[in-house]
Amino acid sequence: MPQENLMQKIMSLCKRRGFIYPGSEIYGGLANTWDYGPLGAEFKNNFKREWWNNFVRQREDVFGLDGGILMNPKIWEASGHTKGFIDVLVECKKCHNRFRVDFLAGAKKCPECGGELTEPKKFVPMFKTFVGPVEDSASIAYLRPETAQAIFVNFKNVVTSFHPKLPFGIAQMGKAFRNEITSGNFIFRTLEFEQMEIEYFIKEKDWEKYFEEWKGLMESWIVGLGVKRENLSWRRHKSEELSHYSKRTEDLEFKFPFGTKELYGLAYRTNFDLTNHAKYSGKDLTYQDSETGEKFYPHVVEPSMGVERSLLAILLDSYREEKDKKGIRVILSLVSQLAPYKVAVFPLLANKPKLLEKARKVFEMLKTDFSSSWDERGNIGKRYYSQDEIGTPYTVTIDFDSLEKDDVTIRDRDTTKQIRVEINDLSEVLRKLLEGKLKFEKAGKLVK
Protein backbone atom coordinates (compact mmCIF):
# COMPACT_ATOMS: atom_id res chain seq x y z
CA MET A 1 0.00 0.00 0.00
CA PRO A 2 1.44 3.44 -0.93
CA GLN A 3 2.54 5.23 2.22
CA GLU A 4 0.64 8.44 1.45
CA ASN A 5 -2.53 6.38 1.01
CA LEU A 6 -1.90 4.71 4.35
CA MET A 7 -1.81 8.07 6.13
CA GLN A 8 -5.10 9.12 4.55
CA LYS A 9 -6.71 5.80 5.44
CA ILE A 10 -5.63 6.11 9.06
CA MET A 11 -7.00 9.65 9.30
CA SER A 12 -10.28 8.56 7.70
CA LEU A 13 -10.62 5.57 10.01
CA CYS A 14 -9.89 7.68 13.07
CA LYS A 15 -12.63 10.17 12.29
CA ARG A 16 -15.18 7.67 11.00
CA ARG A 17 -14.82 5.30 13.93
CA GLY A 18 -14.57 7.86 16.72
CA PHE A 19 -10.87 7.79 17.50
CA ILE A 20 -9.72 11.32 16.63
CA TYR A 21 -11.66 14.37 15.39
CA PRO A 22 -10.36 17.72 14.08
CA GLY A 23 -10.37 20.30 16.89
CA SER A 24 -13.13 22.95 16.86
CA GLU A 25 -14.43 21.45 13.63
CA ILE A 26 -17.90 23.05 13.52
CA TYR A 27 -16.24 26.50 13.67
CA GLY A 28 -13.84 25.78 10.85
CA GLY A 29 -11.24 24.16 13.09
CA LEU A 30 -8.05 25.40 14.73
CA ALA A 31 -4.88 24.34 12.97
CA ASN A 32 -2.91 21.53 14.58
CA THR A 33 -5.43 20.74 17.31
CA TRP A 34 -7.29 17.45 17.66
CA ASP A 35 -9.95 15.97 19.92
CA TYR A 36 -10.08 12.33 20.98
CA GLY A 37 -13.45 10.66 20.53
CA PRO A 38 -14.88 7.79 22.60
CA LEU A 39 -12.60 5.11 21.15
CA GLY A 40 -9.61 7.44 20.95
CA ALA A 41 -9.94 8.38 24.60
CA GLU A 42 -9.94 4.70 25.58
CA PHE A 43 -7.00 3.95 23.28
CA LYS A 44 -5.01 6.88 24.62
CA ASN A 45 -5.77 6.13 28.27
CA ASN A 46 -4.84 2.46 27.78
CA PHE A 47 -1.51 3.50 26.28
CA LYS A 48 -0.70 5.93 29.09
CA ARG A 49 -1.66 3.32 31.66
CA GLU A 50 0.78 0.87 30.07
CA TRP A 51 3.59 3.43 30.23
CA TRP A 52 2.93 4.30 33.88
CA ASN A 53 2.63 0.67 34.87
CA ASN A 54 5.83 -0.33 33.04
CA PHE A 55 8.10 2.57 34.00
CA VAL A 56 6.74 3.60 37.42
CA ARG A 57 4.66 0.94 39.19
CA GLN A 58 6.83 -2.01 38.25
CA ARG A 59 10.10 -0.26 39.12
CA GLU A 60 11.26 0.33 42.69
CA ASP A 61 13.71 3.02 41.54
CA VAL A 62 11.23 5.36 39.78
CA PHE A 63 8.85 7.75 41.58
CA GLY A 64 5.80 9.30 39.94
CA LEU A 65 5.00 13.02 39.91
CA ASP A 66 2.18 15.20 38.62
CA GLY A 67 3.53 18.74 38.39
CA GLY A 68 1.66 21.87 37.39
CA ILE A 69 1.25 23.27 33.89
CA LEU A 70 1.71 26.82 35.22
CA MET A 71 4.92 27.46 37.16
CA ASN A 72 6.93 30.43 38.35
CA PRO A 73 8.38 32.12 35.22
CA LYS A 74 11.83 32.18 36.82
CA ILE A 75 11.91 28.42 36.26
CA TRP A 76 12.02 29.02 32.49
CA GLU A 77 14.86 31.49 32.91
CA ALA A 78 16.86 29.00 34.97
CA SER A 79 16.18 26.18 32.50
CA GLY A 80 17.37 28.32 29.59
CA HIS A 81 14.06 28.23 27.74
CA THR A 82 13.47 31.98 27.57
CA LYS A 83 16.83 32.43 25.81
CA GLY A 84 17.75 29.05 24.36
CA PHE A 85 14.36 27.67 23.32
CA ILE A 86 14.05 29.46 19.99
CA ASP A 87 12.61 28.67 16.55
CA VAL A 88 13.63 30.47 13.38
CA LEU A 89 10.78 31.23 10.96
CA VAL A 90 10.26 32.64 7.49
CA GLU A 91 7.01 33.85 5.95
CA CYS A 92 5.90 33.66 2.32
CA LYS A 93 5.25 37.15 0.97
CA LYS A 94 2.62 35.79 -1.40
CA CYS A 95 0.48 33.27 0.53
CA HIS A 96 1.66 34.35 4.02
CA ASN A 97 2.20 30.81 5.24
CA ARG A 98 4.99 30.50 7.80
CA PHE A 99 7.62 27.80 7.96
CA ARG A 100 10.38 26.76 10.31
CA VAL A 101 13.70 27.22 8.57
CA ASP A 102 14.92 23.78 9.63
CA PHE A 103 11.90 22.20 7.89
CA LEU A 104 12.71 23.81 4.53
CA ALA A 105 15.93 21.82 3.95
CA GLY A 106 17.58 24.81 2.29
CA ALA A 107 14.65 25.73 0.01
CA LYS A 108 14.67 29.38 -1.07
CA LYS A 109 11.06 29.55 -2.26
CA CYS A 110 7.74 28.86 -0.56
CA PRO A 111 7.00 25.11 -0.74
CA GLU A 112 3.27 25.86 -1.05
CA CYS A 113 3.10 28.48 -3.80
CA GLY A 114 6.67 29.17 -4.88
CA GLY A 115 6.56 32.73 -3.55
CA GLU A 116 9.44 34.74 -2.11
CA LEU A 117 10.30 34.16 1.55
CA THR A 118 11.07 36.83 4.14
CA GLU A 119 14.32 37.00 6.08
CA PRO A 120 14.43 34.52 8.97
CA LYS A 121 13.10 35.75 12.31
CA LYS A 122 13.58 34.29 15.78
CA PHE A 123 10.79 33.70 18.27
CA VAL A 124 10.30 31.83 21.55
CA PRO A 125 7.63 29.13 21.00
CA MET A 126 6.18 29.25 24.50
CA PHE A 127 2.56 30.21 25.04
CA LYS A 128 2.45 33.31 27.22
CA THR A 129 -0.35 34.13 29.63
CA PHE A 130 -0.92 36.31 32.71
CA VAL A 131 -1.68 35.43 36.32
CA GLY A 132 -4.17 37.78 37.99
CA PRO A 133 -6.35 40.62 36.67
CA VAL A 134 -3.51 42.90 35.52
CA GLU A 135 -1.66 42.06 32.32
CA ASP A 136 1.82 43.43 32.88
CA SER A 137 5.38 42.11 32.97
CA ALA A 138 5.10 41.19 36.64
CA SER A 139 2.17 38.83 35.97
CA ILE A 140 3.61 36.96 32.96
CA ALA A 141 3.48 33.17 33.08
CA TYR A 142 3.97 30.46 30.47
CA LEU A 143 2.23 27.23 29.62
CA ARG A 144 4.98 24.67 30.12
CA PRO A 145 6.75 23.60 26.90
CA GLU A 146 7.97 20.39 28.58
CA THR A 147 7.19 18.39 31.71
CA ALA A 148 10.80 17.96 32.85
CA GLN A 149 11.22 21.15 34.87
CA ALA A 150 8.59 20.22 37.47
CA ILE A 151 10.71 17.16 38.16
CA PHE A 152 13.87 19.20 38.74
CA VAL A 153 12.23 21.78 41.00
CA ASN A 154 10.69 18.93 43.06
CA PHE A 155 13.92 16.92 43.20
CA LYS A 156 14.69 17.88 46.79
CA ASN A 157 11.10 17.23 47.90
CA VAL A 158 11.19 13.67 46.56
CA VAL A 159 14.62 13.01 48.08
CA THR A 160 13.47 14.32 51.47
CA SER A 161 10.23 12.32 51.38
CA PHE A 162 11.58 8.99 50.13
CA HIS A 163 15.40 9.00 50.64
CA PRO A 164 16.16 7.12 47.42
CA LYS A 165 19.63 5.85 46.61
CA LEU A 166 21.25 6.60 43.27
CA PRO A 167 20.41 5.70 40.62
CA PHE A 168 16.74 6.62 40.75
CA GLY A 169 14.22 8.32 38.52
CA ILE A 170 11.30 10.72 38.77
CA ALA A 171 8.63 10.26 36.13
CA GLN A 172 5.88 12.54 34.92
CA MET A 173 3.21 12.33 32.27
CA GLY A 174 1.14 15.29 31.16
CA LYS A 175 0.31 18.11 28.79
CA ALA A 176 2.88 20.42 27.27
CA PHE A 177 2.35 23.34 24.87
CA ARG A 178 4.43 24.81 22.06
CA ASN A 179 3.40 27.72 19.90
CA GLU A 180 5.33 26.46 16.92
CA ILE A 181 4.73 26.31 13.22
CA THR A 182 3.87 22.74 12.35
CA SER A 183 3.86 20.87 9.07
CA GLY A 184 0.55 19.09 9.57
CA ASN A 185 0.89 15.31 9.35
CA PHE A 186 -2.11 14.61 11.56
CA ILE A 187 -1.19 14.22 15.26
CA PHE A 188 2.58 14.04 14.68
CA ARG A 189 3.19 17.65 15.77
CA THR A 190 0.50 19.63 17.57
CA LEU A 191 0.17 22.80 19.64
CA GLU A 192 -0.72 20.84 22.76
CA PHE A 193 0.54 17.34 23.36
CA GLU A 194 1.32 14.87 26.11
CA GLN A 195 4.80 13.91 27.19
CA MET A 196 5.98 10.93 29.20
CA GLU A 197 9.34 11.80 30.69
CA ILE A 198 11.74 10.35 33.23
CA GLU A 199 14.69 12.15 34.74
CA TYR A 200 17.00 9.35 35.83
CA PHE A 201 19.50 10.66 38.38
CA ILE A 202 22.93 9.02 38.34
CA LYS A 203 26.59 9.53 39.20
CA GLU A 204 28.51 11.20 36.39
CA LYS A 205 30.82 8.23 35.85
CA ASP A 206 27.85 5.96 35.08
CA TRP A 207 26.09 8.03 32.44
CA GLU A 208 27.14 5.98 29.38
CA LYS A 209 26.05 2.75 31.04
CA TYR A 210 22.57 4.04 31.82
CA PHE A 211 22.27 5.83 28.48
CA GLU A 212 22.67 2.51 26.68
CA GLU A 213 20.35 0.77 29.13
CA TRP A 214 17.55 3.25 28.50
CA LYS A 215 17.98 2.94 24.74
CA GLY A 216 17.17 -0.73 25.02
CA LEU A 217 14.25 -0.18 27.40
CA MET A 218 12.62 2.46 25.21
CA GLU A 219 12.88 0.45 22.02
CA SER A 220 11.76 -2.89 23.45
CA TRP A 221 8.78 -1.28 25.20
CA ILE A 222 7.25 0.29 22.10
CA VAL A 223 7.95 -2.83 20.02
CA GLY A 224 6.00 -4.78 22.64
CA LEU A 225 3.02 -2.51 21.99
CA GLY A 226 2.85 -3.18 18.27
CA VAL A 227 5.45 -1.00 16.52
CA LYS A 228 7.56 -3.00 14.07
CA ARG A 229 11.24 -3.09 14.94
CA GLU A 230 12.23 -2.81 11.27
CA ASN A 231 10.58 0.64 11.18
CA LEU A 232 12.76 1.94 14.03
CA SER A 233 16.30 3.31 14.01
CA TRP A 234 18.50 5.40 16.30
CA ARG A 235 20.10 8.66 15.16
CA ARG A 236 22.69 10.55 17.16
CA HIS A 237 22.46 14.36 17.14
CA LYS A 238 25.32 16.29 15.65
CA SER A 239 26.99 18.86 17.90
CA GLU A 240 25.14 21.76 16.25
CA GLU A 241 21.78 20.04 16.88
CA LEU A 242 22.23 19.54 20.60
CA SER A 243 19.96 21.43 22.97
CA HIS A 244 21.62 23.87 25.34
CA TYR A 245 21.39 21.39 28.22
CA SER A 246 22.55 18.27 26.39
CA LYS A 247 25.95 16.64 26.06
CA ARG A 248 24.56 13.74 24.03
CA THR A 249 21.15 13.15 22.47
CA GLU A 250 19.86 10.31 20.35
CA ASP A 251 16.46 10.04 18.69
CA LEU A 252 14.59 6.79 18.24
CA GLU A 253 13.16 7.45 14.79
CA PHE A 254 10.19 5.82 13.10
CA LYS A 255 9.55 5.39 9.40
CA PHE A 256 6.40 7.50 9.03
CA PRO A 257 4.68 7.79 5.61
CA PHE A 258 5.96 11.40 5.40
CA GLY A 259 9.55 10.47 6.25
CA THR A 260 11.72 9.01 8.98
CA LYS A 261 11.15 11.27 11.98
CA GLU A 262 11.74 11.42 15.72
CA LEU A 263 9.51 9.18 17.79
CA TYR A 264 11.36 9.42 21.12
CA GLY A 265 14.37 11.30 22.44
CA LEU A 266 17.07 10.24 24.89
CA ALA A 267 19.33 12.96 26.30
CA TYR A 268 22.23 13.10 28.69
CA ARG A 269 21.51 16.44 30.39
CA THR A 270 24.62 16.34 32.68
CA ASN A 271 23.79 18.23 35.92
CA PHE A 272 22.78 21.38 34.04
CA ASP A 273 19.25 21.64 35.41
CA LEU A 274 19.88 21.08 39.12
CA THR A 275 22.88 23.43 39.21
CA ASN A 276 20.98 26.17 37.37
CA HIS A 277 17.89 25.88 39.55
CA ALA A 278 20.09 25.98 42.66
CA LYS A 279 21.77 29.12 41.32
CA TYR A 280 18.54 30.94 40.39
CA SER A 281 16.51 29.87 43.44
CA GLY A 282 19.27 30.09 46.03
CA LYS A 283 18.24 26.68 47.38
CA ASP A 284 20.49 23.71 48.08
CA LEU A 285 19.61 21.04 45.51
CA THR A 286 22.58 18.78 46.10
CA TYR A 287 22.26 15.09 46.85
CA GLN A 288 24.08 13.57 49.83
CA ASP A 289 25.44 10.06 49.44
CA SER A 290 24.27 8.11 52.50
CA GLU A 291 27.40 5.95 52.53
CA THR A 292 30.18 8.48 51.91
CA GLY A 293 28.48 11.67 53.09
CA GLU A 294 29.55 13.37 49.83
CA LYS A 295 27.28 16.14 48.51
CA PHE A 296 26.98 16.69 44.77
CA TYR A 297 24.58 17.46 41.93
CA PRO A 298 23.54 14.18 40.28
CA HIS A 299 23.74 13.91 36.51
CA VAL A 300 20.69 12.99 34.46
CA VAL A 301 19.75 10.67 31.62
CA GLU A 302 16.35 11.65 30.23
CA PRO A 303 14.15 9.28 28.21
CA SER A 304 11.42 11.46 26.70
CA MET A 305 8.45 9.91 24.93
CA GLY A 306 5.41 11.48 23.30
CA VAL A 307 1.90 10.09 23.57
CA GLU A 308 0.54 11.31 20.24
CA ARG A 309 3.50 10.18 18.13
CA SER A 310 3.39 6.79 19.83
CA LEU A 311 -0.31 6.40 19.03
CA LEU A 312 0.27 7.38 15.40
CA ALA A 313 3.11 4.88 14.98
CA ILE A 314 1.03 2.12 16.57
CA LEU A 315 -1.95 2.89 14.32
CA LEU A 316 0.23 2.86 11.21
CA ASP A 317 1.89 -0.45 12.05
CA SER A 318 -1.37 -2.08 13.19
CA TYR A 319 -3.37 -1.26 10.05
CA ARG A 320 -3.78 -3.86 7.35
CA GLU A 321 -6.23 -4.89 4.65
CA GLU A 322 -7.21 -8.37 3.48
CA LYS A 323 -9.23 -9.42 0.46
CA ASP A 324 -11.98 -11.96 0.93
CA LYS A 325 -15.15 -13.04 -0.85
CA LYS A 326 -17.04 -9.99 0.43
CA GLY A 327 -14.42 -7.41 -0.53
CA ILE A 328 -11.77 -5.76 1.63
CA ARG A 329 -11.54 -6.51 5.34
CA VAL A 330 -9.78 -3.77 7.33
CA ILE A 331 -8.03 -4.95 10.48
CA LEU A 332 -6.51 -2.83 13.21
CA SER A 333 -4.32 -5.42 14.94
CA LEU A 334 -3.90 -3.56 18.20
CA VAL A 335 -2.34 -5.50 21.07
CA SER A 336 -5.05 -6.39 23.54
CA GLN A 337 -3.74 -3.98 26.22
CA LEU A 338 -4.39 -1.01 23.93
CA ALA A 339 -7.64 -2.02 22.22
CA PRO A 340 -10.53 0.31 23.20
CA TYR A 341 -12.85 -2.71 23.50
CA LYS A 342 -11.52 -6.10 24.55
CA VAL A 343 -14.66 -7.95 23.49
CA ALA A 344 -17.86 -7.28 21.54
CA VAL A 345 -21.11 -9.15 22.18
CA PHE A 346 -23.63 -9.88 19.41
CA PRO A 347 -27.00 -11.60 19.24
CA LEU A 348 -27.02 -13.53 15.95
CA LEU A 349 -30.35 -11.87 15.09
CA ALA A 350 -31.67 -8.73 16.76
CA ASN A 351 -35.35 -9.48 16.04
CA LYS A 352 -35.47 -12.66 18.13
CA PRO A 353 -36.40 -11.76 21.73
CA LYS A 354 -34.91 -14.88 23.31
CA LEU A 355 -31.56 -14.39 21.55
CA LEU A 356 -31.56 -10.72 22.50
CA GLU A 357 -32.32 -11.50 26.15
CA LYS A 358 -29.59 -14.15 26.35
CA ALA A 359 -27.06 -11.89 24.66
CA ARG A 360 -27.82 -9.02 27.02
CA LYS A 361 -27.18 -11.27 30.03
CA VAL A 362 -23.81 -12.28 28.59
CA PHE A 363 -22.95 -8.66 27.88
CA GLU A 364 -23.87 -7.54 31.41
CA MET A 365 -21.72 -10.35 32.80
CA LEU A 366 -18.66 -9.47 30.69
CA LYS A 367 -18.71 -5.70 31.02
CA THR A 368 -17.92 -5.86 34.73
CA ASP A 369 -14.51 -7.35 33.92
CA PHE A 370 -13.76 -6.23 30.37
CA SER A 371 -14.21 -3.10 28.28
CA SER A 372 -17.10 -4.43 26.18
CA SER A 373 -19.11 -3.35 23.15
CA TRP A 374 -22.73 -4.23 22.35
CA ASP A 375 -23.83 -4.37 18.72
CA GLU A 376 -27.10 -5.60 17.24
CA ARG A 377 -27.10 -3.53 14.03
CA GLY A 378 -27.28 -5.06 10.56
CA ASN A 379 -26.05 -8.51 9.64
CA ILE A 380 -23.47 -10.43 11.62
CA GLY A 381 -20.79 -10.17 8.92
CA LYS A 382 -20.86 -6.38 8.93
CA ARG A 383 -20.68 -6.36 12.70
CA TYR A 384 -17.57 -8.56 12.59
CA TYR A 385 -15.97 -6.21 10.04
CA SER A 386 -16.81 -3.16 12.15
CA GLN A 387 -15.11 -4.62 15.23
CA ASP A 388 -12.07 -5.72 13.18
CA GLU A 389 -11.63 -2.15 11.98
CA ILE A 390 -11.58 -0.68 15.48
CA GLY A 391 -9.23 -3.35 16.81
CA THR A 392 -11.50 -5.42 19.09
CA PRO A 393 -9.57 -8.66 19.71
CA TYR A 394 -12.57 -10.97 20.28
CA THR A 395 -16.26 -11.08 19.48
CA VAL A 396 -18.82 -13.26 21.26
CA THR A 397 -21.95 -14.34 19.36
CA ILE A 398 -25.08 -15.78 20.92
CA ASP A 399 -26.97 -17.99 18.46
CA PHE A 400 -29.80 -20.55 18.61
CA ASP A 401 -27.48 -23.28 19.90
CA SER A 402 -26.66 -20.96 22.81
CA LEU A 403 -30.27 -21.18 23.95
CA GLU A 404 -30.07 -24.97 24.19
CA LYS A 405 -26.44 -25.60 25.18
CA ASP A 406 -25.69 -22.44 27.20
CA ASP A 407 -22.57 -21.75 25.17
CA VAL A 408 -21.36 -19.06 22.75
CA THR A 409 -19.04 -18.59 19.80
CA ILE A 410 -15.79 -16.65 20.29
CA ARG A 411 -14.21 -15.24 17.12
CA ASP A 412 -10.59 -14.13 16.85
CA ARG A 413 -10.01 -10.79 15.09
CA ASP A 414 -6.72 -11.59 13.40
CA THR A 415 -7.45 -15.09 12.11
CA THR A 416 -11.31 -15.04 12.01
CA LYS A 417 -11.20 -18.52 13.58
CA GLN A 418 -14.03 -19.46 15.94
CA ILE A 419 -14.56 -21.73 18.93
CA ARG A 420 -17.48 -22.71 21.15
CA VAL A 421 -17.18 -21.98 24.87
CA GLU A 422 -19.63 -22.59 27.70
CA ILE A 423 -20.94 -19.38 29.22
CA ASN A 424 -19.79 -20.44 32.68
CA ASP A 425 -16.20 -20.58 31.36
CA LEU A 426 -16.42 -17.53 29.12
CA SER A 427 -14.87 -14.87 31.38
CA GLU A 428 -11.92 -17.06 32.31
CA VAL A 429 -11.25 -18.08 28.69
CA LEU A 430 -11.38 -14.46 27.53
CA ARG A 431 -9.04 -13.39 30.31
CA LYS A 432 -6.49 -16.04 29.33
CA LEU A 433 -6.79 -15.13 25.64
CA LEU A 434 -6.23 -11.44 26.38
CA GLU A 435 -3.25 -12.25 28.60
CA GLY A 436 -1.73 -14.52 25.94
CA LYS A 437 -2.07 -17.65 28.08
CA LEU A 438 -4.38 -19.23 25.48
CA LYS A 439 -4.45 -18.84 21.71
CA PHE A 440 -6.41 -20.08 18.73
CA GLU A 441 -4.79 -22.99 16.91
CA LYS A 442 -7.63 -24.03 14.65
CA ALA A 443 -11.40 -23.95 14.60
CA GLY A 444 -12.83 -25.52 17.70
CA LYS A 445 -9.55 -25.73 19.63
CA LEU A 446 -7.56 -23.56 22.00
CA VAL A 447 -3.94 -24.18 22.97
CA LYS A 448 -1.72 -22.79 25.72
**Residues pairing with 268 in the sheet:** 248, 301
Q: Of the ranges 59-63, 122-126, 132-136, 236-240, which one carries the lowest mean pLDDT score?
A: 122-126
CATH of the domain at 21: 3.30.930.10
User: CA-to-CA distance for 14 and 187, rounded, in angstroms?
Assistant: 11
Sequence-distant contacts of 346-354: CB under 8 A, at least 24 apart: 346/375, 346/376, 346/380, 346/383, 346/395, 346/396, 346/397, 346/398, 347/376, 347/397, 347/398, 348/380, 348/397, 348/398, 348/399, 348/400, 350/376, 350/377, 354/403
Residue 85's pLDDT is what?
Answer: 67
Is 159 a member of any domain? yes
Cite the beta strand spans of 335-374 per DSSP E. 343-347, 372-374
CATH of the domain at 429: 3.40.50.800
Q: What is the pLDDT of residues 348-366, one digit of tens each?
A: 998 999 999 999 999 999 9
C-alpha dihedral sign at 331, 334, 339, 340: negative
- Total domains in the chain come to 2
Its pTM stands at: 0.91
- Print the domain residue range for 364: 341-447
Read off the pLDDT of each residue in 240-260 and give the average, rounded to a whole number. Answer: 91
Residues 422 and 296 in one domain: no
Residue 86's pLDDT is what?
Answer: 65
Read off the pLDDT of each residue in 267-278 and give the average, rounded to a whole number. Answer: 96
Q: What is the pLDDT of residues 160-217, one digit of tens each?
A: 999 999 999 999 999 999 987 766 799 999 999 999 999 999 999 999 999 999 999 9
Q: Identify the helix (H) or strand (E) that includes residue 11.
A: helix 3-16
Is 79 a member of any domain? no
Is 385 a member of any domain? yes
Q: What is the pLDDT of residues 294-314, one digit of tens each?
A: 999 999 999 999 999 999 999
Residues 304 and 347 in one domain: no
User: CA-to-CA distance for 273 and 80, rounded, in angstroms?
Assistant: 9
Residues 230 and 304 in one domain: yes
Is 320 a member of any domain? no
Is 374 a member of any domain? yes
Which distant-in-sequence residues (6+ apart) come within 8 Å of 114 by Cβ?
94
Q: Of the ranges 12-26, 60-74, 119-133, 341-355, which one carries the lowest mean pLDDT score?
A: 119-133
Residue 156 has pLDDT above 90, yes or no: yes
Is 34 a member of any domain? yes
Where a domain ends, among 315, 331, 352? Answer: 315
Contact, 369 vs 431, CB < 8 A? Answer: yes
